Amino acid sequence: MDLAAQPAPFLLLALACAAAAALSLGSVLRLRAQRATLRGALARAQIDLSHAIEARRQTDLRLQDALLEAQAANRAKSRYLVSVSHELRTPLNSLLGYAHLLGDDPGIPPNRRRAVEVIREAGDHLLGVIDHTLDIARIEAGRLTLDLQPVPFPEMIEGLVHMFEMQAIDKGLHFDYRCEGRLPPVVRADGRRLRQVLINILGNAIKFTQQGRVSLHLRYARQMAYFEIRDTGPGIPEADQARIFDAFEQGTGHKPPISGTGVGLTIARMLTDLMGGRLQLQSMPGAGCCFRLKLFLPEMVGLRPPEVVLPRKVLGYRGRRRRLLVIDDEPHDREFLVALLRPLGFLLTTAGSAENGMALISSFQPDLVLMDIDLPGMNGWEAIRALREAGHGDVQVAVLTAHGPEHPGQRPRRFRSLLAAAEGTAEWPEADGAETEAAALLARGDYLQKPLRVDAFLAWLGRRLDLDWAYVAPDVTEMPVRVPDSAVQALRALVQEGYLRGIQRELEILAALYPASAPWLQELGVLAERFQFERLLHQLDQRAAS
């Protein structure tokens, strides 16, 4: 072998190093190119991210503006509803008040009494629409709270059954009520709201059912009440079932269309949710509807249902004459209170403004001032504060207004804290004079809302002034009865059978034959309407023993 022809070792090493260097340089160049590419991509990503962040910020700003606009619109809606409620309640106070007075007037011809009843029914319906609309606004704003109290459960159900049984009969429908198992005598619930839910659902069933039947099935087990309301109406198409609980919505399958506001089921669903219950609908066109309501109604063990107080017409009161000052800028409302209270023996004077009313305090020396809130010039809250500052702190004052006790934008928790302070169970939070005065009046029961319910108003007035009322008819046990014993026994037999319509018809006949006993018979009719047959039998037995 020719050694001279072979490459020198160092040459091979140099070539290897040169090749390695070339490879390293290529890698470095490629890395640099990749790094430059990554830098460009990162820069573009940063620019895109900054654009996205700015777009998100602009979206958030627009959403915040939309939220503020929605909140402002909601507050405006609440103010509008409160204002509309006030404007409607004020004339309703006079309308329903005078309808009550006319209904009790013996000089009204019989053929006109039905007209008076229609006026009262129409006024009550309008008031219900107002209350329903306000309830929706309160629930949406989170300002509606439950007033949990002992509720005589069987009596409440019996009253509802009787009411809707009469409505069904008037419409030519059958009404079936079935109770499965034992009902607790007293449950813990907001009785007004529970009754409202059931009335809305049952009323809706009777309203949209033209023939057939409406049924109520009630089952109570383990502190839970299960209601099932069925009807044989036209049913609700599946396309409408998703929106039937929306406000102001009705089904589209009714021919001809049935009038209504479309808020009854909305209120029922909202109140059910507020009470922690569940309301479900099952329906098919042509097969009627089935509403299932489930509510937690815990039994209050050891409590007895309150005795039913029979309604009696007030004739007047015994003792010294009480002086009432009415301050209200509505002439019709002042005239109604004068027409209601003066015949009962009260001494009244009225004023159309707070300033005129303040000028009468010293000379008239009222036992009670009935103060409106919306007054020209000085409003009611300012007038109450001025009374206190003028040294008339001993003058009793009650508010009589078309406004509710809560301020339009007030939160329930804040109002509850104000009430707790007024009742002496908490410290006063920071509040203005109107809020503290409203809470104090409400805690004492001296915050009265228009339209007045005359019976409830007179009952409050009796408690407030410690009145000894005199009634047109004395107690049932003291009523001289001229109905023959044979008629009493015949009536007793009907009561034992539980034949309600027969009892009512017999009482009407006896009242026509024996007018001197009409008040006594009317009170027996009240017991019958409330299905208190045991008390009714007791009254008849007392009559037989006397």
Q: Write the single-letter amino acid at 63.
A: L
The larger pLDDT score, comparing residue 391 to residue 368, is at 368
Within 13 Å of residue 109, how many CA atoms lie on the same side as its CB?
A: 2
Q: Is the pLDDT of residue 500 over 70?
A: yes
pLDDT of amino acid 411:
47
How far is it, in rounded angstroms, from Cα 367 to Cα 385?
A: 18
What value, to the nearest 5°, has the Cα angle with vertex 510 and ends 504 and 511?
Answer: 90
> Among 10-24, 89-103, 209-223, 437-451, which stretch is predicted with the lowest mean pLDDT?
10-24
Q: Do 181 and 220 meet the contact criterion of CB atoms below 8 Å apart?
A: yes
For the ranges 6-15, 128-137, 175-184, 525-534, the maximum mean pLDDT occurs at: 175-184
**What does residue 180 show for φ and ψ, rounded to 5 degrees?**
-105, 115
In sign, the C-alpha dihedral spanning 39, 44, 49, 54 is positive
DSSP class of residue 329 equals S
How far is it, in rounded angstroms, from Cα 506 to Cα 494?
A: 9
SS3 267: helix
Q: Do 428 and 443 meet the contact criterion of CB atoms below 8 Å apart?
A: no
pLDDT of amino acid 147:
79
| CA 294 from centre of chain | 19
How far is it, in rounded angstroms, from Cα 401 to Cα 452?
A: 10
How far is it, in rounded angstroms, from Cα 327 to Cα 369?
A: 7
- DSSP readout, 65-114? HHHHHHHHHHHHHHHHHHHHHHHHHHHHHHHHHHHHHHHT-TTS-HHHHH
Reported as a pLDDT band with limits 50, 70 and 90, residue 306 is low
237's CB contacts (< 8 A; 6+ apart) are 251, 252, 253, 285
The larger pLDDT score, comparing residue 541 to residue 304, is at 541
Could you tell me the two tokens for 288? 């009627």
Reported as a pLDDT band with limits 50, 70 and 90, residue 36 is confident
What's the rounded mean pLDDT across residues 24-37? 75
pLDDT of amino acid 177:
92
pLDDT of amino acid 481:
46
Could you tell me the two tokens for 399? 């508010």
> Among 30-44, 251-265, 450-464, which stretch is predicted with the lowest mean pLDDT?
251-265
Task: List, for residues 209-242, the tens digit of each pLDDT value.
Answer: 999 999 999 999 989 999 999 999 888 888 777 7
How far is it, in rounded angstroms, from Cα 402 to Cα 397?
A: 16
Q: Is the pLDDT of residue 257 over 60?
A: no
DSSP class of residue 252 equals S
Residue 166: which of 155, 178, 177 has the closest Cα? 177
pLDDT of amino acid 536:
84
Q: Do 183 and 218 meet the contact criterion of CB atoms below 8 Å apart?
A: yes
How far is it, in rounded angstroms, from Cα 83 to Cα 182?
A: 46
Residue 157: which of 91, 227, 73, 85 has the closest Cα? 227
What's the rounded mean pLDDT across residues 388-406? 79
Q: Is the pLDDT of residue 541 over 60?
A: yes
Percent of the chain with pLDDT over 90: 17
SS3 482: coil
What's the rounded mean pLDDT across residues 369-389? 86
Q: Is the pLDDT of residue 13 over 80?
A: no
Angle between helices 331-341 and 9-103 (to 10 degrees): 50
Q: What would you measure as the largest C-alpha separation in the chain, in angstroms?
A: 159
Residue 361: which of 336, 329, 397 has the closest Cα? 397
32's CB contacts (< 8 A; 6+ apart) are none
How far is it, in rounded angstroms, from Cα 466 to Cα 469?
A: 9
Q: Is the pLDDT of residue 261 over 60?
A: no
- Integer-rounded Cα Rg, in Å, for the chain is 37
Mean pLDDT over each residue of the chain, to the nearest integer: 78
Within 13 Å of residue 340, how many CA atoms lie on the same side as its CB?
A: 25
pLDDT of amino acid 478:
41
How far is it, in rounded angstroms, from Cα 402 to Cα 86?
A: 5
Percent of the chain with pLDDT over 70: 76
SS3 48: helix
Could you tell me the two tokens for 522? 């009317």
SS3 220: strand
pLDDT of amino acid 109:
77
Task: List, for residues 327-354, the tens digit of each pLDDT value.
Answer: 999 998 999 999 999 988 899 999 999 8
Q: Is the pLDDT of residue 420 over 60?
A: no
Q: Write the single-letter amino acid at 42.
A: L
Could you tell me the two tokens for 159? 């009253």
The larger pLDDT score, comparing residue 146 to residue 515, is at 146
> Among 51-55, 240-244, 265-269, 406-410, which stretch is predicted with the lowest mean pLDDT?
406-410
> Among 44-48, 161-165, 318-322, 542-546, which stretch is predicted with the lowest mean pLDDT?
542-546
Q: How, if at all, do strands 368-371 and 396-401 pair?
A: parallel
Q: Is the pLDDT of residue 410 over 50?
A: no
Bridge partner list, 196: none
- Which helix (H) or strand (E) element contains residue 287? none
Within 13 Å of residue 508, how many CA atoms lie on the same side as its CB?
A: 6
How far is it, in rounded angstroms, from Cα 441 to Cα 447?
A: 5
Look at phi and psi of residue 336 and say left if phi exceeds 0, alpha if psi is from -120 to 50, else beta. alpha
Q: Is the pLDDT of residue 513 over 60?
A: yes
**H-only helix segments in 365-484:** 380-389, 412-422, 433-444, 454-465
Q: Do 506 and 490 meet the contact criterion of CB atoms below 8 Å apart?
A: yes
Could you tell me the two tokens for 323? 């002086």
Bridge partner list, 179: 218
How far is it, in rounded angstroms, from Cα 41 to Cα 218?
A: 70
Task: List, for residues 127-168, the tens digit of each pLDDT value.
Answer: 777 777 777 776 766 667 787 888 889 988 988 888 888 788
Q: Is 526 exposed, middle or buried, given 0-12, 13-18 or 19+ CB atoms closer than 10 A?
A: middle
**H-only helix segments in 219-353:** 238-241, 264-274, 331-341
What's the CA dihedral at 256, 257, 260, 263 to 10 degrees? 140
